[in-house]
Structure 1
Amino acid sequence: MPNHLIFRLYAPMASWGEAAVGETRPTATYPGRSAILGLIGAALGIRRDDDDGQHRLRKSLQVAVKQRSPGLLMRDYHTVQVPPSQSKVTHRTRREELAVPKELLNTILSSRDYRCDGVWSVAVRLTANAAWSLTELKSALERPRFLLYLGRKACPVAAPLVPTLVEASHWRQALDHPFESALDPQRTWLPLVGNEKKDKHLLRLPEQLIYVWEGEADALDGDTGTVESSETWDEPVNRRRWQFMARQEHRRTEFVEREG
Structure 2
Amino acid sequence: MPRHLLLRLEAPLMAFGGETIDNFGVIRDFPALSMITGLLANALGWRREETERHDRLQERLVMGARIERQGKRLQDNQNARLGAKDAGWTTWGRPEGRAGGAATYDSPHRRFRDYHADQSLLIALRLEPADEPPSLDDLAVALDHPARPLFIGRKPCLPSQRLFAGWQDAEDILDALQSVPLPAAQPEVRLQWPEGEGTLAGDRQLDLCDERHWRSGVHGGWRPVREGRLREAVQAEESAG
Shared fold per TM-score greater than 0.5: yes
Q: Corresponding residue for 2:128?
A: 127
Q: Gapped runs of 5+ residues in structure 1?
A: 85-90, 179-193
| Local SS of the residue matching 1:17 | coil
Instruction: Indicate which of 151, 175, 183 corresponds to 1:196.
Output: 183
Q: Gapped runs of 5+ residues in structure 2?
A: 234-241
Whether the 8 Å contact between 1:49 and 1:240 is mirrored in structure 2 is: no
Whether the 8 Å contact between 1:149 and 1:155 is mirrored in structure 2 is: yes
Q: 1:175 to 1:195 in 2, by over 3 A?
A: closer
Amino acid at match of 2:115: Y
1:61, distance to aligned residue in structure 2 (A) = 1.4
Q: Corresponding residue for 1:157?
A: 159
1:35 corresponds to 2:52: no
Measured against aligned partners, the alpha-carbon deviations of 1:81-130 in whole angstroms (never above 9, x if no partner) come to: 4567xxxxxx77365427x9x98634233211000111100011121274
RMSD: 2.9
For the residues of structure 1 that align with 2:29 and 2:182, how far apart are their CA atoms?
23
Size of the alignment, in residue pairs?
A: 225
Identity within the alignment, %: 23
Report the TM-score when normalising by structure 2.
0.81
Measured against aligned partners, the alpha-carbon deviations of 1:2-61 in whole angstroms (never above 9, x if no partner) come to: 521112110000011010111111111221211111111111112222111112211221
Report the TM-score when normalising by structure 1.
0.75
Amino acid at match of 1:41: A
For the residues of structure 2 that align with 1:96 and 1:173, how far apart are their CA atoms?
46
Where in structure 2 are the equivalents of 1:177-188 lying within 5 Å? 177-178=179-180
For the residues of structure 1 that align with 2:88 and 2:24, how far apart are their CA atoms?
21
Measured against aligned partners, the alpha-carbon deviations of 1:153-206 in whole angstroms (never above 9, x if no partner) come to: 00011101233222112323322454xxxxxxxxxxxxxxx8832xx2xxxx5x
Instruction: Indicate which of 198, 211, 215 corresponds to 2:191.
Output: 211
Where in structure 2 are the equivalents of 1:52-67 lying within 5 Å? 52-67=52-67
Amino acid at match of 2:123: V
Of 228-237 and 11-20, the range deviating more from structure 2: 228-237
Instruction: Indicate which of 118, 128, 141 corresponds to 2:143.
Output: 141
Amino acid at match of 2:147: R
